Amino acid sequence: RIAYVNRRFSRHDQAVVHIEDRGYQLADAIYEVWSLFDGKLADPEGHFARLERSLSELKIAMPMSRAALTMVLKETVRQNRVREGLVYLQVGRGVAPRDHAFPHPDTPPSIVITVKAIDRVATEAKAAKGVSVITTPENRWGRCDIKTVGLLPNAMAKQAAKERGAAEAWFVDEMGLVTEGASSNAWIIDADGTVRTRATNANILRGVTRYSLLEILKEQGMTVDERPFTPDEARAAREAFITGAGALVLPVVAVDGHPVGDGTVGPVAMKLRSLYIERAR
């Protein structure tokens, strides 16, 4: 495996960053994840737009132009000889002696790219069975729209899910409404067929998969309501699913151990999964 680290390609097992990289010390870095279909990045523009927005919200400079970055991403994919997988990009404020306040603006941003292969046969088998989710109180900061590597609450929520045999954790805010998953957006399909997902604001990530799926739903003429839901509403729903670069569109069959609808994988979620994959390929 090959990684791209600060303008060099290195063997993945020998790739290192500096001990005073601000990403390491302060989580002062942002990231993006692309799904890779047949060697091609899915939804490239959406992820680039969010990357630029996350960086600009944190006042970190783009490390290189979008065109140059695209070339480096493609070259890293090529060197790894991966056709189906995930591409990870991290951009940080760079290396400087530890200090909470920002270093000199000339500090070069750090940049890391890794590529991971995915076994599509295994992920399709998982999707066909559906996954369980748990719920957990929302405990993240007020700018979840910025895709930072400050993921400790997400990591802890995901671990709690894993320990309970679930694939994802849904954060629930103080109003009792689901915000999003630890690494995905959350959706339900109501008894009347309305597709529901929370509207985006500073409390959740503007999922690129979420946006693509909204376009697909529009094309399909389906009714969408960007309104949050409670875990109880998810259980009473006909179907539930999650979206994300890793999950794609993944049916949810149980919430906190209670079945969603009749507890089987939803046909609409599976249909939306194949429509999404078809479009991304």
Binding residues for ligand PDD, per CB under 6 A? 33, 180, 183-185, 205, 207-210, 243-246
Minimum Å gap between C-beta 12 and ligand PDD is 18
Kindly tell me which of 9 and 88 has the beta carbon lying closer to ligand PDD.
88
Q: Which of 227, 140, 154, 162 is nearest to 184 (CA)?
A: 154
* Nearest to ligand PDD of 49, 236 (CB atom): 49
Closest separation in Å from C-beta 31 to ligand PDD:
7
Kindly tell me which of 205 and 217 has the beta carbon lying closer to ligand PDD.
205
Q: Count Cβ atoms within 10 A of the Cβ of residue 96 and give its class: 0-12 exposed, 13-18 middle, 19 or more buried.
A: middle
Residue 153 phi, psi (nearest 5): -60, -40
Q: How far is CA 98 from CA 18, 53, 64, 259, in A?
A: 12, 25, 25, 49
Q: Name the token pair of 1.
A: 């495996």
Nearest approach, Cβ of 207 to ligand PDD (angstroms)?
A: 3
- Look at strands 195-197 and 224-225 and give their pairing: parallel
d(CA 153, CA 151): 6
Please state, in angstroms and rounded to a whole number, the distance separating the CA atoms of residues 188 and 176.
Answer: 16
Catalytic positions, written as ranges: 147
Beta strands in the chain (DSSP E): 2-5, 8-11, 29-37, 40-41, 85-92, 110-117, 131-137, 168-172, 178-181, 185-189, 195-197, 224-225, 239-244, 248-255, 258-259
Q: Which is nearer to ligand PDD, 51 or 95 (CB)?
A: 51
Cβ 1 to ligand PDD, closest distance in Å? 18
Least distance in angstroms from the C-beta of 144 to ligand PDD: 7
Give the C-alpha separation, 203 to 148, whole Å: 13
